[in-house]
Amino acid sequence: MIRHIWILSYGTNNLWSSWIKAYHLNNSNLWEAKTPCTCSWNWRKLLHLRPLVRPLIQQYIGNGSSTSLWFDNWHPDGPLLSKWSPRVVYDSCLPIHAMVSSIVHGDSWSWPAAMSIDLFEIRSRMPFYNSNSNVNDRVRWLPSSNGTYSASSALASLRTPHPIVPWFKLVWFP
């Protein structure tokens, strides 16, 4: 299930992800999708796993055209709408489905004038922007050293480690 979330957020265009984006997501963002009452068990469980998986996926900005400004994990404080209220969207005068590219002009960030303390705080914590309009945004799986998803890194990051008990050889034979 976690691999499915990775595939949907990574943007791999295969038949399954295209169908999910068109049918279940209605071409909107995975992170903002509501859980419908009449969905399948698999889809419901996938949507319920999002809060666990979201901090493990990090977007790195290239040209900003494929990273959601409000929903994706690209800012140092995480997804902007998970930390600040939706009021900050209104204060910014940017649409809810804006991409990061909408606040990039040339080689620097170009936010609208700060009309609220929240928007000022977001702007003050912005990372350094290295202008490169020829490079696409990258998605990185944080638990893995090479940035690509693996089941072992997902298991290691989500499970609670327990110490080895002295009687484990009674249960697990060598």
pLDDT digits (tens, 9 = 90+) for 6-20: 888 876 778 988 888
Please give the residue that has the higher pLDDT: either 79 or 12: 79
Average pLDDT, the chain: 85
Instruction: Quickly state the pLDDT bin for 48 (edges 50, 70, 90).
Output: very high
Judged against a pLDDT cut of 80, whether residue 174 lies above it is answered with no
Write down the pLDDT at residue 11: 64
Q: Which two tokens stand for residue 78?
A: 């995480």
Domain boundaries, the chain: 2-158
> Quick one: what percent of the chain has pLDDT higher than 90?
7
Could you report the per-residue pLDDT of 95-149, keeping only the tens digit for each? 988 998 888 887 778 887 767 888 888 888 887 776 677 788 888 898 988 888 8
Residue with the two structure tokens 């997804």: 79
Predicted TM-score (pTM) above 0.95 = no
Per-residue confidence (pLDDT) for residue 86, from 0 to 100: 86
The dihedral of CA 6, 7, 12, 13: what is its sign? negative
pLDDT above 80 (res 45) = yes
Distance, CA of 35 to CA of 103 (rounded, Å): 30
Q: How many residues in total does the chain contain?
A: 174
